Amino acid sequence: MKEIILDGADAGRRIDQALAARLAPDLSRGRIQALLRAGAVTIDNAIVAEPKSKLPASGTVRIVLPDAEDPLPRPQAIPLDILFEDDDIIVIDKPVGLVVHPGAGVPDGTLVNALIHHCGDSLSGIGGVKRPGIVHRLDRDTSGVMVVAKTDHAHRSLSAAFAAHGRDGALARAYVALCWGTPDRTLGVIDAPLGRSSSDRTRRAVVPASRPGARHAVTHFTVERQFGRRENGTATAALVECRLETGRTHQIRVHMAHIGHPLIGDATYGAAHATKANKLPEHARNAVEAFARQALHARHLAFHHPRTNERLSFTTEPPADMATLIDALDACENTANIS
Distance in angstroms (rounded) separating the CA atoms of residues 26 and 29:
10
Task: Looking at 203-319, list the stretches that DSSP marks H as alpha helix, in order from N- to C-terminal side.
Answer: 251-258, 282-290
Is-contact 299 145, C-beta < 8 A? Answer: yes
Catalytic site includes residue 139: yes
Q: Which of 44, 139, 321, 327 is catalytic?
A: 139
**Contacts (Cβ under 8 Å, ≥6 apart) of 259:** 183, 188, 190
216 vs 241: CA distance, rounded Å: 20
Contact 182, 230 (CB under 8 A): no
Helix H or strand E encompassing 316: none
Q: What does residue 259 show for φ and ψ, rounded to 5 degrees? A: -90, 10
> What is the per-residue DSSP string for 8-73?
STTTTSBHHHHHHHHHTTTS-HHHHHHHHHTT-EEETTEE---TTPBPPSSEEEEE-PPPPPPSS-
List active site positions: 139
